[in-house]
């Protein structure tokens, strides 16, 4: 792995509630040419990100039903479609954690499928959906079940955490998720990934995307270590 490959596995993320338009635009400009897979920004920043990232390697990513996942399905689907219409290429949605825990599996699957359908229709199949499980609330069996539901609903990725839940990603989460989805669906580890050692551990466990606000620092640390 080289620094470019590492950067291309990272969704560099800015989801702080205190960030406004000016700070957000400045952050996007700072990170636009660093080779990240995506810049994941709050929904209000999607039009700015779409403009600034045109012609770069980084996709525009944003969040839906974030961070709690308990919005009505229709609201989630509409939000996702709106994000795509504004230039979003990857949508990270939060599943309904409470419904999953209670065993309402058809509801969870249908909730995800509605978002996937809205995104595909708005983008003509060109945008991705990543399903955030919020693994900190779940037992191992529930993590596996959630992954199966996400795949059945047509999502392209499963993701560990929002970064706003009870904990971030663990290597065990990633191992369970990779085993559940196989090799044809992506696994994104997010939450608490702040250094190179953790990033490498997550990739080794089976993640092919990392969600972090420390992407630049992680890549710089890799370059320094490789010298």
**Which domains, ranges and CATH numbers included, belong to the chain?**
3-226 (3.20.20.70)
User: Taking Cα atoms as reference points, which of 100, 46, 104, 105 lies closest to residue 68?
Assistant: 100
Cα distances (Å, whole numbers) of residue 219 to 5, 138, 180, 226: 10, 31, 29, 11
* Predicted local confidence at residue 13, as pLDDT: 98
User: Taking Cα atoms as reference points, which of 69, 6, 37 lies closest to residue 198?
Assistant: 6
Q: How many CA atoms lie within 13 A of 62 on its CB side?
A: 28
CB 132 within 8 A of CB 111: no
54: left (phi over 0), alpha (psi -120 to 50) or beta: beta
* Predicted local confidence at residue 226, as pLDDT: 73
Low-confidence ranges of the chain (pLDDT < 70): 227
Phi/psi of residue 141, each to 5°?
-60, -35
CB 53 within 8 A of CB 29: no
**pLDDT tens digits, one per residue of 176-212:** 999 999 999 999 999 999 999 999 999 999 999 999 9
What residues are annotated to the active site? 92, 159, 188
* Predicted local confidence at residue 224, as pLDDT: 93
* Predicted local confidence at residue 225, as pLDDT: 84
């Amino acid at each position: 792995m080289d620094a470019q490959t590492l950067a291309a596995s990272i969704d560099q993320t800015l989801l702080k509630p205190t960030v406004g338009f000016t700070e957000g635009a400045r952050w996007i400009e700072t990170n636009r040419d660093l080779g990240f897979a995506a810049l994941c920004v709050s929904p209000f920043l999607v039009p700015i990100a779409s403009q600034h990232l045109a012609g770069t390697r980084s996709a525009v990513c944003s969040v839906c039903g974030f961070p709690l996942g308990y919005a009505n399905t229709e609201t989630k689907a509409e939000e996702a479609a709106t994000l795509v219409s504004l230039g979003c290429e990857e949508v990270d949605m939060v599943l309904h954690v409470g419904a999953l825990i209670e065993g309402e599996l058809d509801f969870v699957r249908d909730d995800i499928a509605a978002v996937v359908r809205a995104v595909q229709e708005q983008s003509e199949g060109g945008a991705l959906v990543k399903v955030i499980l919020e693994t900190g609330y779940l037992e191992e069996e529930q993590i596996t079940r959630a992954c199966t539901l996400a795949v059945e609903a047509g999502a392209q990725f499963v993701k560990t955490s929002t970064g706003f839940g009870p904990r971030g990603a663990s290597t065990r989460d990633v191992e369970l998720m990779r085993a559940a989805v196989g090799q044809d669906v992506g696994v994104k580890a997010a939450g608490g990934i702040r250094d190179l050692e953790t990033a490498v551990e997550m990739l080794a466990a089976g993640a092919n995307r990392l969600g972090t606000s420390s992407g630049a620092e992680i890549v710089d640390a890799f370059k320094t270590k490789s010298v």
